[in-house]
């Protein structure tokens, strides 16, 4: 835990579209999606080279732009790290002389400011993202069909995604988090009992702070896993439905835009 709180890399934000803005991969919700679109265009020679050009000129730079924007939030995180080193250390808490609650609330305020910074900086790239989505929609209109379009690629991608889900240890992760939560709940019970019997102390305060951080990590882990499960369930449900072999171009475009969104 101490190594983790040295960096606070587990703190993230969630934007208005429910995208998770992670410090380590703030771009993943968008870049992964555009990466998936690339897999679809490779089945269509008439647009594959055009998308490759878009990918190399815009999507790769988008990734760097988002990462650089989010990186400017570091000063706010450094304020949190400095407070963390105090709040998790009983000896340093002793030096606060009764100001522990104020420092704890300051930490929460810094966290909120940092999360807002992550979200706001990420949102500054939204015009680029909207422009890319528009370009992709226009590009997909160039797919050559006869009277109707073959839906084979869409069908194949559903099957490919189902196979790739086998490499996602979802249940293992869930059980791991449940075990940690069970240990946390037991530890919290013991600390609360100790506080009732012994009163407040620096050791109890520092332990409760660390427990709160673990609780936050667990909640965020569940949020990430919920998004994974939602996408997996959506695609699994699609696989159980009858999929037409041929569709109109508009339907094909919608298929190509929607399916990778749930996978990404």
Token pair for 32 = 């992964």
**Number of compact structural domains in the chain:** 1
pLDDT of the residue at 101: 87
Q: Which structure tokens are listed for 77? A: 């995180």
Mean pLDDT of all residues in 153-160: 96
Residue 1 has pLDDT above 50, yes or no: no
Kindly report the number of other CB atoms within 10 A of residue 180's CB atom.
15
| Domain that residue 36 falls in | 2-263
pTM assigned to the model: 0.86
Q: Give me the mean pLDDT over the 37-61 stretch.
A: 93
Whether 102 contacts 67, CB under 8 Å = no
Query: What is the structure's pLDDT at 46?
Result: 96
Q: Is the pLDDT of residue 215 over 80?
A: yes
Q: What is the pLDDT of residue 5?
A: 57
Percent of the chain whose predicted confidence (pLDDT) is above 70: 97
Q: For the chain, first and last CA: distance in Å?
A: 29
Average pLDDT (90-114) is: 88
pLDDT digits (tens, 9 = 90+) for 167-206: 989 999 999 999 999 999 999 999 999 999 988 889 999 9
Q: Are strands 12-14 and 20-22 parallel, antiparallel or unpaired?
A: antiparallel
Classified as helix, coil or strand, 211 is helix
- Counting Cα atoms < 13 Å in the Cβ hemisphere of 224 gives 20
> What six digits make up the tokens of 173?
């992760």
Tell me which H or E stretch contains 12: strand 12-14
* Angle (nearest 5°) at CA 210 between 182 and 9: 100
- Beta-carbon contacts of 161 under 8 Å, excluding residues fewer than 6 positions away, are 235, 259, 263
CA 105 to CA 107: how far, in whole Å? Answer: 5
Assess whether pLDDT exceeds 70 at residue 3.
no
């Amino acid at each position: 835990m101490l190594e983790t709180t040295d960096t606070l890399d587990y703190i993230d934000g969630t934007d208005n579209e429910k995208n998770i803005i992670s410090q380590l991969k703030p771009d993943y919700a968008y870049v992964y999606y555009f990466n998936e679109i690339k897999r679809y265009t490779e089945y269509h020679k008439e647009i594959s080279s055009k998308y490759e050009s878009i990918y190399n000129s815009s999507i790769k730079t988008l990734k760097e732009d988002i990462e650089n924007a989010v990186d400017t939030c570091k000063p706010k995180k450094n304020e949190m790290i400095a407070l963390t080193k105090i709040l998790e250390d009983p000896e340093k808490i002793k030096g606060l002389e009764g100001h522990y609650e104020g420092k704890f609330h300051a930490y929460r305020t810094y966290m909120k400011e940092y999360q807002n910074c992550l979200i706001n900086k990420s949102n500054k790239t939204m015009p680029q993202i909207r422009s890319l989505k528009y370009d992709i929609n226009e590009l997909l209109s160039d797919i050559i069909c006869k009277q109707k379009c073959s839906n084979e690629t869409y069908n194949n991608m559903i099957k490919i995604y189902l196979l790739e889900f086998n490499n996602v240890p979802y249940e293992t992760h869930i059980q791991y988090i449940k075990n940690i939560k069970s240990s946390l709940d037991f530890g919290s019970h013991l600390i609360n009992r100790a506080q009732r019997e012994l009163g407040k102390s620096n050791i109890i305060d520092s332990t409760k702070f660390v427990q709160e951080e673990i609780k936050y990590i667990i909640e965020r882990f569940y949020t990430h896993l919920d998004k994974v499960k939602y996408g997996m369930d959506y695609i699994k449900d699609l696989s159980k439905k009858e999929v037409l072999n041929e569709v109109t171009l508009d339907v094909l475009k919608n298929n190509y835009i929607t399916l990778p969104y749930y996978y990404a």
